[in-house]
Amino acid sequence: MRTLTALALGALMLGAVACGGPYPQSTLDPAADFGSHIDELFRWIFWFAVGVFVVVESLLLFVVVRYRARPGAPEPERVHGNTLLEIGWTLVPAVILILIAAPTMQTIFRTDGTPPEGALEVDVIGHQWWWEYNYPELGITTANELHVPQGRPVSLRLTSRDVIHSFWAPRLGGKRDVIAGRTNRISFTADSAGVFLGQCAEFCGESHAKMGLRVFVDDSVTFTQWVAGQRAAPPSADTLPDLARRGWEAFRLIRDPASNSCIACHTVQGVSGGVLGPNLTHMGSRSTVAAGALPNTAEGLARWLRDPPAEKPGSKMPRIGLTEDEIAALVAYLQLLR
């Protein structure tokens, strides 16, 4: 008995520890209307499930104990059919199913992605293994880190350049498949400012687990500043300090093979127009490198440039064989692209 009590207490303690938080990706802690609709529906259904569980398990326990085999007990009486019971256990589940189905349908329609009036449109394009974001209205293209204004509806138009991905920022809303040749939608209005983590939720190849995303919900001042920063032209080459200037040259260098040149795959506004990789015009303003694989620090950038497939298996950015001098110069340049 003592061992059992100790074990039970231990299990309880472990369970309680799991409730400690923080929960950066919990659907149970919504921060937008879409997330709240899902959460409310979940809680509604949860209590029916609890009710069914308690009734079924209590009956089971009662029957097991009360009618267990006892030595010398008489043969139990045989019964056939019970109209009242049968009507009961048909009607009650039917009513429960209706009570679950009605709000489920309602939630499906409420979260179908129809853009609300005045929504900020963002085109989201899934790539192996990063996210591209275009804001047609604002003329901004960025990657992996989505910025949205707090309190204003946002409408994401989701599509893919390659395989099927799925966009999921659990505290805001989703998830929804991201499919080439199709446009799916997610609309939400975020109610609190902050950084919300998310990730690709559909297996999409080797680095699926490293296809993270961050949604920055900015208050109106911060969002306006961010927009202005993203729309500003990058510094011109003649204003760059020495090291960064060498980075700019390394960035523009045509390498052998030419497909290994940064400009073959990346856009920096006014410098190059590659589209196979993320737009780097404002790389320095992001907090992470390669969809959250590394922090956007000098060290993180250098590790990425040294050997991308070592950081993200299968990476579509190859190992280019840069010298350490080139890496230092490129890092200095990229960090100035704020």
Interface ranges with Cu ion (CB under 5 A) = 165, 200, 204, 211
Which span (47-55, 160-168, 238-246, 312-320) binds ligand HEC, by CB under 6 A? 312-320
Contact between residue 251 and residue 239 where contact means Cβ atoms under 8 Å apart: no
Quick check: helix, strand or coil at residue 209? Answer: helix
292 binds, among Cu ion, ligand HEC, none (CB under 5 to 8 A by kind): none
Quick check: helix, strand or coil at residue 237? Answer: helix
**Residue with Cβ nearer ligand HEC (111 or 207):** 207
Residues touching ligand HEC: how many (CB under 6 A)?
Answer: 33
Would you count residue 195 as binding ligand HEC (CB under 6 A)? Answer: no
CA 63 – CA 106 distance, rounded (Å): 39
Q: Which of 146, 315, 328, 329 binds ligand HEC (CB under 6 A)?
A: 315
Q: Which of 159, 222, 260, 269 binds ligand HEC (CB under 6 A)?
A: 260
Question: In the bound complex, what is the minimum distance in angstroms from residue 165's beta carbon to Cu ion?
Answer: 3
CA 135 – CA 197 distance, rounded (Å): 20
Question: In the bound complex, what is the minimum distance in angstroms from residue 178's beta carbon to Cu ion?
Answer: 7
**Residue with Cβ nearer Cu ion (211 or 334):** 211
Which stretch of DSSP H or E encloses residue 197?
Answer: strand 194-200
CA 65 – CA 121 distance, rounded (Å): 62
End-to-end C-alpha distance for the chain, whole angstroms: 65
Which span (11-19, 22-30, 161-169, 256-264) binds ligand HEC, by CB under 6 A? 256-264
**Residue with Cβ nearer ligand HEC (87 or 276):** 276
Angle at 119 between CA 168 and CA 219, to 5 degrees: 75
Rg of the chain over Cα atoms, rounded to whole angstroms, equals: 28
Which span (46-54, 101-109, 178-186, 279-287) binds ligand HEC, by CB under 6 A? 279-287
| Bond prior to 312 in cis (omega within 30° of 0) | no
260 binds, among Cu ion, ligand HEC, none (CB under 5 to 8 A by kind): ligand HEC
Would you count residue 264 as binding ligand HEC (CB under 6 A)? Answer: yes
Which span (9-17, 151-159, 174-182, 278-286) binds ligand HEC, by CB under 6 A? 278-286
Joined together, the tokens standing for residue 222 give 């911060």
**Residue with Cβ nearer ligand HEC (158 or 283):** 283
Question: In the bound complex, what is the minimum distance in angstroms from residue 152's beta carbon to Cu ion?
Answer: 27
CA 302 – CA 334 distance, rounded (Å): 10
168 binds, among ligand HEC, Cu ion, none (CB under 5 to 8 A by kind): none
CA 202 – CA 182 distance, rounded (Å): 16
Contact between residue 148 and residue 120 where contact means Cβ atoms under 8 Å apart: yes
**For the chain, how are helix, strand and coil distributed in percent, rounded to 5?**
45, 20, 35
Question: In the bound complex, what is the minimum distance in angstroms from residue 308's beta carbon to ligand HEC?
Answer: 6
Question: In the bound complex, what is the minimum distance in angstroms from residue 82's beta carbon to Cu ion?
Answer: 54
Would you count residue 157 as binding ligand HEC (CB under 6 A)? Answer: no
Whole-Å CA distances, 318 to 124, 179, 265: 24, 25, 11
Joined together, the tokens standing for residue 131 give 């996210």
Residues in touch with ligand HEC (CB under 6 A): 129-130, 143-144, 207, 251, 259-262, 264-266, 276-278, 280, 283, 286, 289-291, 304-305, 312, 315-318, 320, 322, 330, 334
